[in-house]
Structure 1
Amino acid sequence: MGRGVWDEAEQELWNVNVWLKNLQELCDATQSAWTKFLRNIASTFLNPFHEEFRQVWTRKGVLPSIR
C-alpha cells in the first residue's frame, strides 16, 4: 500500500470525526431545546397557581368551572 492510500484513510477518518462532532452538537442542541420546552410546559400546565393551568384543565373538564 502506498502513502496515498493512508492519506485517503486519514482524510476519511477526519471527515467521520467532524461528522460525529457535528452530530453530537445537534443532539446536544436538540436535547437542550426539548428540556426548555418541557420545563415550560410543566411550569404552565402542572402549576395550579398559573392561570393557563386553570383554563386548560377546566376546558378539559378536569376542574370544575368557577363562575
Structure 2
Amino acid sequence: MRVETTCDAVAALMESDPAKAEVMVHLANLVADGFAEWQMLDSGTIRLRLTTGATYLLEQTTVTRIA
C-alpha cells in the first residue's frame, strides 16, 4: 500500500538532521509547485518522481535514482 506523503510526515522524519530537513524542504517545494510528486512506501522510503520522469528513492541515509 502506498499513501500520499505530506510535508508534516516528512518533517517528522527529518527533525533530527537539519541539513536533511533543508533538502526535504526544497523537494517539498518542487512537489507543491507541480514539478514532482512523492509517495511514502510501506517501508518508510519516499519515492520522488519528477515531471521529467526521473524517479528517486529517498531512504534514511541514501538517495537512489531508479528511473
Q: What TM bracket, shorter-length normalisation?
A: under 0.3
Larger radius of gyration: 1
- Tell which has more relative contact order, 1 or 2 (C-alpha 8 A, sep 6+): 2
TM-score of the superposed pair, with normalisation by structure 2: 0.26
Structure ranking higher in strand proportion: 2
Normalising by the residue count of structure 1, what TM-score does the alignment of the two structures yield? 0.26
- Which structure is higher in helix share? 1
